Structure 1
Amino acid sequence: MTEDERAIRDMVDQWMSASKAGDHETVLGLMTDDAIFMVPGREPFGKDAFEAAVQGSKDIRVEGGSEIQEIQVLGDWAWLRNHVEVSITPPGGEAIRRSGYTLTILRKGADGRWRLMRDANLMG
């Protein structure tokens, strides 16, 4: 495994850990400012919409994990194919479970850190 592949795996682990901990600032720091998310049944949305959604979910409990299927690094760009399972539980509510595959494009910043730039997922 290359150093970049290890760094990308660490970034995914950090994303999952921060999501579970409700650490939205860390999650936001793991994406580029021009990040775009594509999910079923919704127009693509950017980092600002993602931030607004997570700010409104401070009391939601998130559990889950991911299994990286494939990583390809091409200089300062990379993509990864991942299978993600999450359980989201609102306060006093029932858990909502989602699982599916994602295809993510990453960009390595001037600081050497990998960040999510584009994400398409089929979690349903």
Structure 2
Amino acid sequence: MLLAMESPTGPEEQSIREVHSTWIDAVNAGDLGCLLSLMADDAVFLYPGQEPFGREGFSANFGNAHQQLRIDCTSELEEVVVVGEVAYTRSRDALSVTQRSGGAATLLAGHRITIYREQPDGRWILVRGAHTLSPVEK
């Protein structure tokens, strides 16, 4: 098990940390193509108050959100666990969301768990994701 304050102990952990960082950068950039390249065809997402959804639902939700909102996400990895060709991460995330038309930012925070699967070429891709993001009281 790798906790956030420890340094990666192997190439798998380092690869997963890089995928996590690339994912957050792509969210902030609104780069749907990059995000899709980091997820499996059968990826499933679990978000509060919604039915589980896959790539198509993710694409629609993400595209609509970035058309209407400016999103700034930060994520602190708290745990990385690798077991063979499967791994998971647990992170603490914070989102600042502002309407593109203006106004005050809405702050969301919570935890996220992501499950990854190693591909034959050695890449790690997201297969399941769930978060508990909710509004932060001011």
TM above 0.5, yes or no, is yes
Equivalent position amino acid for 1:12 in 2 = H
CA RMSD of aligned residues (A): 1.3
Query: For residue 43 of structure 1, what is the aligned residue in structure 2?
Result: 51
- 1:85-124 aligned within 5 A: 85-93=94-102, 94-124=104-134
Query: For residue 69 of structure 1, what is the aligned residue in structure 2?
Result: 78
Given that residues 27 and 73 in structure 2 are in contact (C-alpha distance below 8 angstroms), is that contact kept between their aligned partners in structure 1? no
Cα deviation 1:53-109 (Å, max 9, x = unaligned): 122234332212111111110111001111111112221133222111111111111
Q: Secondary structure at the match of 2:49?
A: coil
Q: Which residues of structure 2 form unaligned runs of 5+?
A: 1-8
* TM-score, normalised by the number of residues in structure 2: 0.84
Runs of 4+ in 1 over 4 A off after TM superposition: none
Equivalent position amino acid for 2:93 in 1 = V
Q: Which residues of structure 1 form unaligned runs of 5+?
A: none
Q: Which has the larger radius of gyration?
A: 2
Distance in 1 of aligned mates of 2:29 and 2:118: 25
Q: State how many pairs are aligned.
A: 124
